[in-house]
Amino acid sequence: MSTPRRPRPLRPHLPDVRPLDRFSTLKIKMGIVVVASVTLAAFITWWGLRNSLGPTRTFPLAIIISMGFTMLLAKGMTSPLREMTAAARAMSEGDYSRRVQATSRDEVGQLATAFNIMAEDLESSDQVRRELIANVSHELRTPVAALHAQLENLVDGVVEPTPATMQTALTQTERLTRLITYLLDLSRIEAGAADLNLTRLDAADFLEDTLDSVSTLEAGKQLTFQVDVAPEGLTFVADPERLRQILINLLQNAIRHSPFAGEVSIHARGTGDSVVFDVIDQGPGIAVADRQRIFERFARGAGSAQVALTSSGGTGIGLAIVRWAVDLHGGTVEVADTRDGATMRVTLPQTAADSSDALEPDEADWTDSGAGDAAGGPPA
């Protein structure tokens, strides 16, 4: 495959003079150019006739000089347009690094600024696309290769189809299912899906139900799980499917990065106009420098800061979905300051929600909501 050809930079014969950049509109600039050209032509005509050059030499001289002066000013006014043309051609060939020199305040300068913003967004999107392809390919390759080897051994008679063998294959299949679910959720984010089905939930029952759906993950670590709700009997209003999606993603992170025989806990407390959920683990924690970046799509950390960056095993999709679902509720998600481990804190407002016609706790149907499937975990 041939390398994309980079367009050569424009090499104008006239200097790029921009004395009119101080003016804020293109109409004022055009008026100044017309007035200056006419004044210059009149002055040259007066000077030529005064020095007896005659009309046959004075008029052509006035026209040529005034046209040259007009072209010099017009070139500075339109140079951003030529730069945008060259940059657009480069973008069509895959080069998103080109930028336009935006020095004026008129419509052309505003267009140049908007063009640079668009170029930055396209460059960022192209980088995200490349990272997505690389990350998803890597994530898919591992379980697919494990399944292929497992099935190949079964077909060749190398291993017997024991429950342990089937469980290994099932684990890899569940990993693939979770990854595909995350990608589907990501497509909903891109589509701007923002539907909420608000329901009044009992905090203790909902958290116990959610924790049961993920407590079997990483069972070999012999983890202990704890639910703490304050005050007792706390209820709140939220979309059960979206909230389960949030908590399962955070709990999967906590389980994955917890040490052997560690503890994973989830706390809920009401604060009057909001309800706060803390998902706490005893892992290495998250570096302060990475605490904002981890909620960006495809974010990755380095060293110990790699913990809790993703809930899909490395693609950086899980926490982006968490932030999206929290934003739908008008809440916030952050990494709280703790001495040990990591605490993921979700705050959901209740003032606006209480004014809606929310269902009572006994009317909420968590099992049929599909929340477990949407979050990549089994249903309750």
- Same structural domain, 92 and 157: no
pLDDT score, position 350: 85
Question: Is the Cα dihedral 308, 311, 312, 315 positive or negative?
Answer: negative
pLDDT tens digits for range 234-247: 999 999 988 988 99
- Same structural domain, 109 and 209: no
CATH number at residue 184: 1.10.287.130
Residue finishing a domain among 191, 214, 235 = 191
Can you tell me the distance from the alpha carbon of 366 to that of 374, in angstroms, rounded to the nearest whole number? 12
- Same structural domain, 90 and 174: no
Higher pLDDT, 46 or 268: 268
Structural domain of 314: 199-374
245, 321 contact by CB (below 8 A)? yes
Higher pLDDT, 177 or 315: 177
pLDDT score, position 4: 44
- Same structural domain, 283 and 326: yes
- Same structural domain, 116 and 252: no
pLDDT band at 9 (very low <50, low <70, confident <90, very high): very low
Of 73, 108, 83, the closest CA to residue 11 belongs to: 83
CA dihedral 214, 196, 268, 186 (to 10 degrees): 50
- Same structural domain, 52 and 143: no
- Same structural domain, 68 and 159: no
Task: Tokens for 157, please give them.
Answer: 């008679």
Of 212, 192, 274, 199, the closest CA to residue 243 belongs to: 199
CATH number at residue 324: 3.30.565.10
255, 217 contact by CB (below 8 A)? yes
Domains: count for the chain: 3
Contacts of residue 299, Cβ cutoff 8 Å, sequence gap at least 6: 290, 293, 309, 310, 316, 319, 320
pLDDT at 304 over 60: no
In a domain, 21, yes or no: no
pLDDT tens digits for range 325-335: 898 889 999 99
| Predicted model pTM | 0.53
In a domain, 133, yes or no: yes
- Same structural domain, 272 and 215: yes
pLDDT tens digits for range 181-234: 767 776 766 666 657 889 999 999 999 999 888 876 666 788 899 999 999 999
In a domain, 379, yes or no: no
For range 149-175, the mean pLDDT:
83
The rounded mean pLDDT for the chain is: 76
- Same structural domain, 209 and 336: yes
In a domain, 219, yes or no: yes
pLDDT score, position 17: 60
- Same structural domain, 155 and 181: yes
